[in-house]
Amino acid sequence: MLETVELRKVFKGKTAVEEVSLYLKEGESVGLIGPNGAGKSTTISMISSLLKPTAGDVRLNGQSVIKHPQQLRKVLGVVPQEIALYEELSSYENLKFFGKVYGLKGKELELKIQELLDMVGLRDRQKELIRTYSGGMKRRINIAVALMHDPKIVIMDEPTVGIDPQSRNHILDTVRHLSREKGTTVLYTSHYMEEVEQLCSRMYIMDHGRIIASGTKEELQLILSGEETLLLRLDRQHAEFTEELQTLAAVRQVEETELGLKLIVTKNHQILSRVVQAAERFDVQILNIHIDSPSLEDVFLHLTGRNLRD
Amino acid sequence: MVSILLSHWMRERRNPFLLLLFIGISIIATLMFGGGMTQKMKIDVFSETGELKESEKEWLLLLNKGDTFKFRAQDEQSARTKVREGRADLAVKLTGDDYRIIAVKESPNAQLAEQHIRTVFERELELRAVSAAAGDEKGFRSRIDTYLEEPPLTLQVKGTDGEELLRYDMGLQLMFGFSLFLVMLTIGFKVNTITKDKITGIWSRLILSPVRKSEIYFGHLLYSTMIGIVQITVVFLIFRYAFNFGLGHRYGLLLLVIALYSMTIVAMCILLAGILRTPEKFNMLFPSIVPIMPLVSGVYMPPGTITSPILLGVAEIFPITHAMEALTGIAIYDNGIGELWLPLSKLILIAVLCMGIGINLMERRHV
């Protein structure tokens, strides 16, 4: 339905996005994850026709929309990262205004407003000014506004940043509702891997302006299929012990956690005995060992060398 | 475009205080600074004997024949206290057929008043002396009064162009000046909503909607212009009908100048918003830049006060200079469109240049 072909964006000689190719099939939810500065928002701006790419193409049903974005704009709803609302108006007035912008009027407009207020759970507070809302409530209305014209494709740019758990759940439910019951195609960007895992059937991982991996959760986990995660609970942190573990051939990554260390290690190896021996050498007591398959966070760490929210 | 106007109107209705505030300040400032131009100067008069005698009351009547001063009987102590405390420039002590000026400092008002009092006393005492010399005092005064009402010779003063010599109304100029100055602030803050909308993402939402970019700009600019026209018109109407200011009879032309000026200020604000980039910078710097314009343009001073060629040159780039010229031309000199084409053309030129460059700068930095 919607695809990008080798999108590239250069700002004042600095490349923000390089060769980004992705696609969204009709009705599917796709995640776009990456740390701050990875190029997600720039990519979204180019896909939604708000920013002209330096090179590459955006296609809707095979037709380029770079020069004539009207077709895309008709079917597209964008939820920006910012709260793009008139703070001095109520949520009802905001929805009414943006509805009118999209040509809705009369009963149709009124029904749509109430349907969306129901969807985001703010019908009983529709007359209150946006500036009196909590951050989470503002984000819910931010989403509702983008859905006023029943878009076939919705792009959401980190819609759950800095909000309370109740609003977060509402937003996640809204996305599920859009995807499952309305058949809306969703491109969802987030810092939170668990959100993308819950909502999206496929995902793209971006770093330094490039897509470094893509696929379903299972496909991405296969990247680390030959590896497993060891969670060591220790009586104390010991720098030399950590350094020693890093020198072991089977150890791919070592990360300090609150209670000890997290290791990504190659499977089927005599790793446990070596770890225990090292601990004895440095007089570090291992209180607990937990062996797990690598998570998507681990895959991300493996691919980018940093955590998602670094 | 209608939806953009609607968004502005919805917000204006919710929060009309900025507009009302600037209308209020325009009125208060004009009354405070321009009120003295239309009101008579009040001067206290007291007698050395306490109560004013009959002869002194006659002097009071004679002194009050004129438009500039209002002499009023007052007790000596309060009259002297007012002068001493600087609340009055002068007071007058009547001593039969003579007077004393009570003042603590020299001031233009005291000089003018003294000149008026001297003229009244000299003229009356001369008449009395001549009447007494003529023998028939009553008959002589009656003939003099008849001559003064229907003089055998009349003197007419005309301007160099042969027209009636007009009296320049400084109060009116100040009313125009304050209205034009304060409307710049109202319009500026309205235009700044464009940059605010760009920062908050509302602009992007609108760009993605079926509304065209040109319509979005036009809606914003039209609303800002309209609000400027409304503000100036309300102030003018209040002064015309509540304070009896003479605005001439060419109301259509006044409205044209107001509309062109508002449009030019909108364009100027677009340019400043384009240069200053963020709404915060605009909010910080715009109110600092704007008050300089009427000062340099000599809006608060009588015409011809500013003679520096540099200041006069700088004033040429400010819309307020040309709007003032056009408004005073219409209201005081009864100028028609033939005489107004130059200031109006300059306003249009400034509007076109500022709008072109301003929108270009805004577009370079945003969607």
Complex-level ipTM: 0.76
Same domain, B95 and B222: no
CA distances from B121 to B98, B125, B134, B137, B256 (A): 8, 6, 20, 18, 50
DSSP per residue, B231-292: HHHHHHHHHHHTS-----S-HHHHHHHHHHHHHHHHHHHHHHHHHH-SHHHHHHHHHHHTTH
Q: Which domain holds residue A270?
A: 225-293
Low-confidence stretches of chain A (pLDDT < 70) are: 224-225, 268-269, 294, 305-310
Nearest CA in chain A to B207: A50
In a domain, A118, yes or no: no
Suggest the residue from A86, A100, A153 to mutate for an interface test with chain B (most B CBs closer than 10 A).
A86
In a domain, A93, yes or no: no
CATH of the domain at A243: 3.30.70.100
Residue B97 Rama label (left phi>0; alpha psi -120 to 50; beta): alpha
B7/A85 Cβ within 8 A: no
Same domain, A172 and A279: no
Count of structural domains within chain A: 2
Q: Which domain holds residue B345?
A: 2-35+169-365
Same domain, A18 and A163: yes
Same domain, B24 and B77: no
Select from A134, A213, A142 the least CA-distant residue to A166: A134
A84/B202 Cβ within 8 A: yes
Same domain, A157 and A280: no
Calpha distance B313→B316 (Å, rounded): 5
A50/B204 Cβ within 8 A: yes
Are the beta carbons of A296 and A197 closer than 8 angstroms? yes
Q: For residue B162, count CB atoms less than 10 angstroms from its CB and return exposed for 0-12, middle for 13-18, buried for 19 or more.
A: exposed
In a domain, B68, yes or no: yes
Q: Which of A187, A221, A255 is the last residue of a domain?
A: A221
Are the beta carbons of B174 and B30 closer than 8 angstroms? yes
Angle, helix A135-146 to helix A106-119, in steps of 10 degrees: 140
In a domain, A298, yes or no: no
In a domain, B347, yes or no: yes
B201/A84 Cβ within 8 A: yes
How far A245 CA sits from the closest chain B CA (Å)? 48
CATH of the domain at A28: 3.40.50.300
Same domain, B88 and B11: no
Same domain, B339 and B361: yes
**Which residues in B255-285 are b (16+ Cβ under 10 Å) and which e?**
ebbbbbbbbbbbbbbbbbbbebbebeebeee
Count of structural domains within chain B: 2
Same domain, B307 and B321: yes
B206/A86 Cβ within 8 A: no
Name the one residue in this structure whose structure tokens are 């200011």: B245
In a domain, B154, yes or no: no
A48/B209 Cβ within 8 A: no
Chain B residues whose CB is inside 8 A of the A48 CB are 208
How far A100 CA sits from the closest chain B CA (Å)? 7
* B208 vs A73, A83, A85: nearest CB: A73
Q: Mind listing the pLDDT tens digit of every residue in chain B (367 residues)?
A: 777 888 878 887 887 887 788 888 877 877 777 655 556 778 899 987 778 888 888 888 888 887 778 888 888 888 899 988 888 888 999 887 889 999 888 777 788 888 889 999 998 888 888 888 887 778 888 888 888 788 878 777 776 666 666 666 778 888 899 899 989 998 998 898 888 888 888 988 998 888 888 898 998 899 999 999 999 998 888 888 888 888 888 899 999 999 999 999 999 999 998 888 888 998 889 899 899 999 888 888 877 777 888 989 999 999 999 999 999 999 888 888 888 999 999 999 999 999 999 989 888 765 4
Chain B residues whose CB is inside 8 A of the A146 CB are 205
* Segment A66-92, tens digit of pLDDT: 888 888 888 899 999 889 999 989 999
Are the beta carbons of B211 and B1 closer than 8 angstroms? yes
* B211 vs A80, A86, A101: nearest CB: A101
Give the containing element (helix H, strand E) for A22.
Answer: strand A14-24
